[in-house]
A = this chain, B = another copy of it.
Amino acid sequence: MKDPKKPGGEPLKVAVAGLGTVGAGVLKLLAANRATIAARAGREIVVTAVSARNRDKDRGVSLDGVAWFDDPVAMAKEADADVIVELVGGSNGPAKASVEAAIDAGRAVVTANKALLAHHGSALAARAEAKATPLAFEAAVAGGIPVVKGLKDGLAANRIDRVVGILNGTCNYILTTMRETGRDFDDVLADAQALGYAEADPSFDIDGIDAAHKLAILTSLAFGTEIDFGNVHVEGIRHITALDISYAEELGYRIKLLGIARRTDTGIEQRVHPCMVPKASAIASVEGVYNAVIVEGDAVGQVAFRGRGAGEGPTASAVVADLIDIAAGRASAPPLGVPAALQAKAEPAQMAEHIGSYYVRLSVVDKPGVFAAIATALGAEDVSMESVLQHGRHPDGPVAVVLTIHETTEGAFMRALDRMRHVDGVLDQPRAIRIEAV
C-alpha cells in the first residue's frame, strides 16, 4: 500500500455498488472535499466504476469516465479498482456476493450494510483476514458517528463492560414526537412516513431489527466476540402509548429504544427494547433523528458519542472516512478489532436472568381489594414495589395504576406480571417497560 506520507502518489481507485442516496452522496462528497480528502489520505481517491439498477436516472453526480456495471458482482471481480464500496443493501443476494467476490479478488471492501454484517460479519471478517485485505464498515453503525473506530481504536485499551445506544433514528424521531405532541404511535408513524423518516413498510425500524443488527456488530467490537445476531433479544416500539410516555415524564423518565450489550456473570446480554431512562441522563436528551452510543470501559469510564445516524451526508462521511483509512494504509487491522482466530464465541446470557427495574401500567377496576391482590401477586414472586401512581378515582370503573418495581430478575418479574394479569379486577394485559440506569 502507498506510503501516506508521500502525497501525489497513485490514486486509490474505488468502485461503488449501489447509487441510491448514500452512493450518490459518496460521489458528491469525494468531489466536494477532494483536496482535503487527498491531503488526509496521502493521495487522491477516485471513483473508477459504479453499479446500479437504472443507468439513466439523474443522480446529480457526473459519471463521466466512470465505468458502468449492471451487475455489482461482476464489478467486484472485474472493475479497475482497489476498493469496492458495497451500498446495495440486504443480508444476502448481490450485496453478499459482491463483498465475497471483492475479498476473494484481494480487494478492500467498504460497506454500510448492517444486515449483511449482523448475519455474516464474522465469516466475512475471517475471509478478509485470510486475504489480508481491509473490510471496513464505519457507516454500518450509527451513521456519521465514528463509533466503530472509537471501539476498535480509540477505546481499544479498555475492558468494555457495557455499550448502550440509540441506534435507530426513525424510532427516536417517533418517540420524541410522541412526547412533544402527546399524539399516539400510529398517528406519528404516518407523519414520519409522509416526511420520509420512516419507510412504507416500517417494520424493520420500528420492530427493532435494524437496531439489533447494529447492536450485534457493536457487541462484537466491544467484547472481542463473534457477531451473534441470533441471540439479540428484540422488542420494538409499536406498543408504546402516549399514556406511557406521559407517565414516564411524571416519574422522571424518558422512553427510548435502546440497544444494550453488557457483560454479566452469566454471559453476554444483548437486548433491544424500549427503556425508561432518567430524564437528567445524557442519553435522554438525544432527541429526534439523532443517534448516540455510550461506552463504559474499565479505564476510561463512560464515553458518549452523539450525531446523525442516517442520511446522505452522515453516511457518506463514514464511508469516505473508511476510504481515507484504506488510502493511508491504516485499515489493515482485523475487521472486528480482534483476529477471527482469537474471537471467543459469545456466551449468551438468558433474558430470564436479566436483573433490572420495571415500570408497569395496569388497568384495574377501582374497587376495594384489587390493590391488595396485586401486592400479593408481586409478593408471591419476591418482587417488590418502589412506587405506585394512581390519578383520580372512578368507583367500580376502570382506572390506570402505574407501578415501578425494584431490581429483580426478569424471570421473577415476568411471573409476577402473569400473576397480576390474573388478579380479579385487573382488566386487559398489563404493560411493562424496563427501566435502564444510564
Contacts and interface: CB of A to CB of B under 8 A. Distances in A.
Interface of A: 3-5, 7, 25, 29, 32-33, 36-37, 39-42, 129, 132, 138, 144-146, 149-150, 152-159, 224, 282, 285, 297-308, 313-314, 316-321, 323-325, 328-334, 337-339, 341-342
Nearest to A314: B300
A43 B341 CA distance: 14
A142 to B, nearest CB: 10
**Copies per complex?**
2
11 contacts: A32-B298, A36-B159, A39-B339, A39-B342, A146-B153, A153-B153, A154-B318, A303-B305, A329-B332, A330-B331, A330-B333
B304 A338 contact: no
Given A5-B129, A7-B339, 18 more contacts: A4-B332, A5-B132, A5-B332, A33-B157, A36-B158, A40-B338, A144-B155, A145-B303, A146-B155, A157-B323, A157-B324, A158-B317, A282-B285, A299-B316, A299-B317, A302-B307, A304-B305, A330-B332
B154 A40 contact: no
B313 A300 contact: yes
The binding surface of chain A is classed by DSSP as mixed
A153 B325 CA distance: 7
Contacts of A304: 304-307
A341 B154 CA distance: 27
Contact of A316 (B152, B157, B224, B334): B157
Contacts of A305: 303-306
Given A157-B321, A301-B308, A333-B330, A224 B42 contact: no
Closest 6 CB pairs of A and B: A146-B154, A157-B320, A330-B330, A303-B307, A144-B300, A300-B317
A297 B321 contact: no
A4 B129 CA distance: 10
Among A29, A138, A157, A305, which residue has the most Cβ atoms of chain B within 10 A? A157
Given A154-B149, A156-B324, A157-B37, A342 B7 contact: yes
A259 B332 CA distance: 35
B4 A333 contact: yes
Given A153-B324, A158-B33, A337 B299 contact: no
A397 B339 CA distance: 75
A177 to B, nearest CB: 17
Nearest to A306: B304
B224 A39 contact: yes
A301 B314 contact: yes
A334 B33 contact: no
Contacts of A285: 282, 285
Contacts of A37: 156-157
